[in-house]
Amino acid sequence: MTAVSRTPFKSERIRESPSRKCLARIGDFWVFAIPEIQRPFVWDASKVRNLLDSLYLGYPVGYLIAWRNPNIKLKDGTSSSGKRILIDGQQRVTALMAALLGQEVITKDYETTRIRIAFNPQEEKFEVANPAIRKDSAWIEDVAIVFAPDASLTKLSRQYQERNPHTDVDEIALVLEKLKKITNNHVGVIELAEDLDIETVTEIFIRVNSAGVTLSQADFAMSKIAANETYGGNLLRKAIDYFCHLAISPEFFDRISKFDKAFVESEHLGKIKWLKDANDDIYDPSYTDMLRVAFTSEFRRGKLQDLVALLSGRNFETRQYEEEIAEASFAQLKKGVHAFVSQTHFERFTMIMRSAGFITNRLIGGQNALNFAYIVYLLGRAQSLPPSQIEAAVRRWSVFSILRGRYSGNPETQFDFDIRRIEAVGLLDYINSTIEAEMSDSYWQNLLPQELETSSATSPLFHAYQAAQVVMQDKGFLSSHIPVDALLLNRSDAHHVYPKDLLKKQGLQRGQYNQLANFVLAQSEINIAIGNKAPEVYFGELQEQVTGGALKYGGITDEQMLRANLLAHCVPDSMLDGEVPSYEEFLSVRRAMMAAKLKTYFEKLGEVLPTP
């Protein structure tokens, strides 16, 4: 079967190293290095059925794009041609191998399953096997039996005719022969030249997959890792995937133990099995997070395309590919992954983040800020810095990164910049100088209040403010005993100091009444009790409450305690004295108070002093 040739990606680099267009028999797909878990199989069974139907009818099913690994210079000076890696088409090839060869696939939930496609020779029709089809003699419930190496079409046809006496055995045999011949069909293959640079191949990989499940440089790196068995990449890939899954679902460990003997016998299981008893959800990394941290901390680089190049054996000075570099790179990456998954490292890092007030993952303003904070921790450990200095460095850098949105734009570029500067000037000196330069008094007094002018309760700035309240052991808004940390870990409301319904009636829009500076963390009961009362009303009632009046809001009956509670939430206590500002004036005053509180909090995180 032949499709019209197409060029997936044009650039000067490809014209200099042209791709080659060829045909591959479906039955020869094993010539490709299809990573064991390039990504989980995400097609549903109906798409597999449709693919088989298209092949049977002779319809085009699109091109596959492959890339032959660069030729690697071996230790003896000879050159070794690399395997062909499937860049685009892995889901289609996996679907065919699952349906025709009866192989199991790994789902997005990391469960192993079989996909059974049934075939009706009389109607020449495919369907996903189900209980009704299995009971219907007109169907062959699994086409894999037709493609088995020892399958006899004569025997299969005769058995089918015995179940369906009205059919002609010769006609059934012809249909089954037609079915089996789909392995002789040809699919177009675009093979990228092995001398294409890694950056181009990475970009092609990302672009050609973007129409389906969006992929990234991390996906390509994971494919590269999984395709290598010589240096244990296939098992290292599993260690990364399994750790990420166990961090969310510890019960998944039993499935690994029962069904993945090769991994159980590897050196990796012992490194991650501690997660089966863990229930911490502060840091649930994805494989992208793990790769970023392991690669950046070990290789002192921040761009994952460099990881792909190193795993391919690239010598950045000579621009040649050498086996020694590939071998060393896999060993170094394994070291970085093992450092990442270490129970001691992981638990101490999350403990430090808790000490900075981030007691739940809902407060993490950005995963990449957390990732680089872990890099800071691992670098500090590698340099044998005193624990107190590591803790202060991690706390300060993580909060600084969240407040400044340091990794919210292009994280790879920023990772690369930061790690190279750390290598140049030293970890603690870089942290000190960067924070000093970017968090001057002008930042706290002018820029931060301006940045607090936002209408999102999920803003990283609000999360950092809540972490500050945890560290300062604040009670909830108008609460006498319930602390903020308990509210964050259980049930709480983001209460509007100036009630939303009241502001809506005044004609204010969503972005105006949902200003971050209008939110405080309160018990649901207090939020309900206030309702849509104007501030001058319920603050007047609060004044009465602490001077012997009825208890209406929370349990505070002491005026000094109430004033302290208001100031802890950056609400002017003068509002108790009847000095209720306009809504806009209130927002301006509160933003300045919140910025000042964040400054005090940041200073409490500890000073990072270089080792004498």
pLDDT tens digits for range 373-388: 999 999 999 999 999 9
Q: What does the alpha-carbon distance between residue 93 and residue 340 come to, in Å, rounded to a whole number?
A: 33
Please give the share of the chain, as a percent, with pLDDT higher than 90: 63
| DSSP, residue by residue, 153-219 | HHHHHHHHHHHSTTS-HHHHHHHHHHHHGGGG-EEEEEEEPTTS-HHHHHHHHHHHHTTSS---HHH
pLDDT in the model for residue 172: 94
Half-sphere exposure of 451 (CA within 13 A, CB side): 20
pLDDT in the model for residue 437: 96
Number of neighbouring beta carbons within 10 Å of residue 59 = 12
pLDDT in the model for residue 15: 39
Q: What does the alpha-carbon distance between residue 562 and residue 352 come to, in Å, rounded to a whole number?
A: 32
Sign of the C-alpha dihedral, residues 405, 411, 415, 421?
A: negative
SS3 481: coil
What's the whole-number mean pLDDT along residues 19-38? 51
> Is the model's pLDDT at 326 over the cut of 70?
yes
pLDDT in the model for residue 610: 62
Task: Name 550's Cβ contacts closer than 8 Å, sequence gap at least 6.
Answer: 541, 544
pLDDT in the model for residue 215: 59
Per the model's pLDDT, the better-predicted residue between 520 and 226 turns out to be 520
pLDDT in the model for residue 132: 94
What's the whole-number mean pLDDT along residues 338-353? 97
Q: How confident is the model at residue 80 (pLDDT cuts 50, 70, 90)?
A: low
pLDDT in the model for residue 221: 87
Per the model's pLDDT, the better-predicted residue between 465 and 65 turns out to be 465
Instruction: Tell me how many degrees the CA angle 272-278-282 measures, rounded to the nearest 5.
Output: 100
Contact predicate 398/356, CB 8 Å = yes
Q: What are phi and psi of 189, to 5 degrees?
A: -125, 130
The pTM score is: 0.79
What's the whole-number mean pLDDT along residues 420-431? 96
pLDDT in the model for residue 587: 97
- The chain-wide mean pLDDT, for the chain, equals 86
Beta bridge pairs of residue 189: 22, 64
Task: Name 560's Cβ contacts closer than 8 Å, sequence gap at least 6.
Answer: none
Q: What does the alpha-carbon distance between residue 355 and residue 485 come to, in Å, rounded to a whole number?
A: 12
What's the whole-number mean pLDDT along residues 76-88? 61
What's the whole-number mean pLDDT along residues 105-121? 82
pLDDT tens string 545-572: 999 999 999 999 999 999 999 999 999 9
What's the whole-number mean pLDDT along residues 190-200? 70
3-class SS string, 356-369: CCCCCHHHCCCHHH
SS3 105: strand
> Is the model's pLDDT at 503 over the cut of 50?
yes
What's the whole-number mean pLDDT along residues 408-436? 95
Q: How confident is the model at residue 95 (pLDDT cuts 50, 70, 90)?
A: confident
Instruction: Point out the least confidently predicted range of 138-142, 248-252, 591-595.
Output: 248-252
What's the whole-number mean pLDDT along residues 262-276? 95
> Is the model's pLDDT at 136 over the cut of 90?
yes
Residue 98, token pair as written in the block = 């699952």
pLDDT tens string 233-248: 989 999 999 999 999 8
What's the whole-number mean pLDDT along residues 57-77? 68
> Is the model's pLDDT at 502 over the cut of 90?
yes
What's the whole-number mean pLDDT along residues 504-532? 93
Q: What's the residue count for the chain?
A: 612
pLDDT in the model for residue 339: 98
pLDDT in the model for residue 21: 55
Q: What does the alpha-carbon distance between residue 136 and residue 122 come to, in Å, rounded to a whole number?
A: 13
What's the whole-number mean pLDDT along residues 99-125? 84
Instruction: Point out the least confidently predicted range of 20-24, 203-207, 215-219, 446-450.
Output: 20-24
pLDDT tens string 146-166: 999 888 999 999 999 999 999
Helix axes 217-226, 233-248, angle to 10 degrees: 130
Residue 74, token pair as written in the block = 């071996």
SS3 25: strand
> Is the model's pLDDT at 117 over the cut of 70?
yes
pLDDT in the model for residue 9: 36
